[in-house]
Each structure stands twice: as C-alpha cells, then as structure tokens.
C-alpha cells in the first residue's frame, strides 16, 4: 500500500477459517483487494457449516467525495437450491445513498430497491418483493421462524425529510403455513407519518372464516422509547368472523387440551393509554359443547373503562 493516503495503491490477499460475525460462522473466507488512484476491485468467497456459500465481485470508484459501488456478479447458494443472484449499483455521497440498481433474485422470487435516501433533504426509496418463498428465506437467513411458510408479495416506500419520515407498506401472504395452520391468506397495511402509525391486517382461513386486526396511535412525551410508548394514545380493534375453535389446537396441544367444536364471532374495541385503556368486547359462540351438555349458544358483552368492568350481557342457551 503506497501513494497518497486518500487514493492509495492497494494489493491485498487473505483467507480465514473459523471466522464468525453476525451469527454466521465461516468454514472458509477468501478475499482479494487491488487497485489505485481511486479505482479498486475485490473478489470474495464465503462458506459456512450450514452449506451457505457466497461469491462476489465488487468494484469501487472514487469521484470527489462520492464513491460509486458496483457489486456484480454476486451469488448466494443454500444447499442444493438454485443460487440467489444479486446486483448492487450504489452511489455513496456525503449526504446520502443513491440506489441506481439493487436486486436479489432466485427464479420467480425477487427483491428490488430504487431511489435515493438523504440525510439533509427530501428523499424517497421504494422496495418491491415478488413471490418470496418464506421457507427458503428461513434457510437463507438461518433465523428460526417455527414452521412459517408461504409466498410473500409486497411494497415498501420510505419518503419524507430528515426527522419527518413517512413509511407506507403493503403486503400479502399466499398459501401460508404457521403453527400447524395451513392454506392461510394474510393481508397487511402499514402507514407511519408525522409520528402516528396505523396497521391493518386480515387473516383468511381455508373455511372462509377471518380474523381482522387494527392498531393505531401516537406515542407520547417521555425520556426514552419505553416512556414514550407508555404515555401514548392508541386505538385498536380485533374481529373474529366465524372462526372455529379448532384453529387453537396447535397452542392448546401444548397443555394436552382438545379445542371444543363450534365457531366464535367476536369484536374487541379499545382506545386510550396503557394505564387507562377503554375496552369493549362482544362475542357470539355457536355450537359450543361441554362434556355431555347439548350444543350451546353463548352471547357475551363486556366493557372496561380503565377502572371498572361492566358485564352488559350474558346469555347461555341450547340450540
């Protein structure tokens, strides 16, 4: 390494075994770096004990205070699966990052990023996910996601100005699997703007029953994130539409309990702070069976104003 410090001449080659970083342990890691006068190239290869392997070529060019980074080709291999291909074409500037091109692809699966993020002025970055296989993602990341599986599609937009970000996200999951439940469909929407967040989600089961969730609100004042969350004001809702008790089997089986027959319909509404929430619950259960009793119909309505619990309605009768 010689010449001026800001644009040195570099020729470096190395390898390592047993290297660990970010939870990954490398069986082997090889790299080369060479170049001068602000133009550099690097080749690298990585392989871990789980059979994941990474190979790539990176080119970097300095233009004044900015750096143009081109990573291509890049391949990530997981076992015997078709390798993931990636390419990154980025401009690193003193006040932000410009994504000329960024993608990760495997067959029909694809992740794309484009746009510009700035530390000092208005920005907009857009991301798109197409036909992502969550089972393959579990193998790729090494993160334990239970039996979570399915095909994910979605979009994410990050925009705004420094200190005032806006996040818009839309997503859907097809052929979902989670904790023994199969053939699920999930819709998700998230908006965060001017300090307020709103999240909506709907889970569809194979029999046509649905679970809908809504939450929104604004964190309050306080020192630190926890204090701000606790002092915030929120609204939430939860709807069960003819959901069979049998969907709880994966959880109840941990205690050796069989779920009762019959479906439940319910609405839960709430608002307020963590310390003083107001909650309203209404539910209808049809065909509930307990021991040798005939199938029952149960209607319940309860309200809690943060201090007092009121039972508005409770009726139990056979069908």
pLDDT of amino acid 157: 98
Tokens of 310: 């009121």
User: What is d(CA 317, CA 319) in angstroms, rounded to the nearest whole number?
Assistant: 7
Q: How confident is the model at residue 1 (pLDDT cuts 50, 70, 90)?
A: very low
DSSP output for 111-165: EEEEEEEESSS-EEEEEEEEEEEHHHHHHHH----TT-EEEEEEEEEEEEETTEE
Please state the separation of Cα 149 from the chain's center in Å: 13
Evaluate if residue 22 carries a pLDDT over 60. Answer: no
Tell which wins on pLDDT, 93 or 48. Answer: 93
pLDDT, one tens digit per residue, over 90-131 is: 999 999 999 999 999 988 999 999 999 999 999 999 999 999
- Helix extents (H) in the chain: 134-141, 225-230, 249-252
Mapping DSSP to helix (H, G, I), strand (E, B) and coil, where does residue 91 land? strand
Q: Which residue has the higher pLDDT, 200 or 311?
A: 200
pLDDT value at residue 2: 46
pLDDT computed for residue 285 by the predictor: 84
Average pLDDT of span 174-182 = 83
Alpha-carbon distances, residue 42 vs 5, 16, 93, 203 (angstroms):
19, 16, 21, 46
246: left (phi over 0), alpha (psi -120 to 50) or beta: alpha
Contact predicate 236/270, CB 8 Å? yes
Residue 141's pLDDT band (boundaries 50, 70, 90)? low
What value does the mean pLDDT of the chain take?
86
Indicate whether 38 pLDDT > 90: no
Partners of 293 in the β-ladder? none
- Closest of 84, 90, 85 to residue 114, by C-alpha: 90
Domain ranges for the chain, please list them. 1-107, 195-319
Asked if 119 contacts 127 with a C-beta cutoff of 8 angstroms, the reply is: no
**H/E element, 28:** strand 24-36
- In Å, the largest CA–CA distance within the chain is 90
pLDDT digits (tens, 9 = 90+) for 203-226: 999 888 999 999 999 988 888 878
* Residue of 103, 63, 98, 66 whose CA lies nearest to 85: 103
Q: Break the chain down into helix, strand, coil percent, rounded to 5.
A: 10, 65, 25
Query: Do 154 and 168 meet the contact criterion of CB atoms below 8 Å apart?
Result: no
DSSP label of 2:
B
In this structure, what are the phi and psi dihedrals at residue 17, rounded to the nearest 5 degrees?
-130, 145
Rounded distance, CA 263 to CA 246, Å? 8
């Amino acid at each position: 390494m010689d010449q001026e410090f800001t644009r040195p001449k570099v020729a470096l080659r190395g390898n390592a075994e047993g290297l660990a970083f970010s939870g990954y342990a490398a069986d082997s890691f090889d790299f080369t770096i060479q170049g001068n006068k602000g133009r550099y190239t690097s080749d690298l290869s990585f392989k871990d004990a789980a059979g994941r392997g990474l190979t790539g070529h990176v080119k970097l060019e300095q233009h004044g205070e900015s750096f143009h980074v081109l990573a291509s080709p890049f391949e990530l291999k997981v076992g015997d699966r078709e390798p993931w291909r990636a390419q990154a074409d980025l401009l690193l500037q003193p006040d932000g990052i410009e994504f000329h091109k960024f993608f990760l692809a495997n067959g029909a699966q694809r992740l794309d990023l484009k746009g510009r993020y700035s530390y000092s002025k208005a920005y907009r970055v857009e991301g798109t996910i197409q036909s992502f296989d969550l089972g393959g993602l579990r193998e790729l990341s090494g993160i334990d996601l239970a039996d979570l599986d399915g095909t994910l599609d979605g979009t994410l937009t990050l925009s705004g100005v420094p200190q005032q970000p806006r996040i818009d996200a839309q997503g859907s999951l097809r052929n979902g699997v989670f904790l023994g439940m199969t053939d699920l469909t999930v819709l998700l929407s998230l908006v965060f703007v001017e300090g307020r967040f709103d999240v909506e989600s709907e889970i569809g089961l194979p029999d046509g029953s649905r679970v809908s969730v809504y939450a929104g609100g604004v964190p309050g004042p306080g020192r630190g994130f926890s204090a701000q969350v606790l002092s915030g004001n929120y609204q939430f809702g939860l709807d069960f539409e003819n959901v069979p008790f049998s969907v709880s089997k994966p959880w109840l089986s941990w205690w050796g309990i069989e779920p009762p027959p019959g479906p439940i319909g319910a609405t839960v509404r709430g608002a307020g702070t963590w310390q003083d929430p107001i909650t309203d619950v209404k539910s209808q259960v049809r065909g509930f069976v307990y021991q040798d009793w005939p199938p029952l119909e149960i209607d319940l309505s309860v309200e809690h104003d943060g201090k007092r619990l009121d039972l508005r309605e409770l009726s139990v009768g056979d069908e």
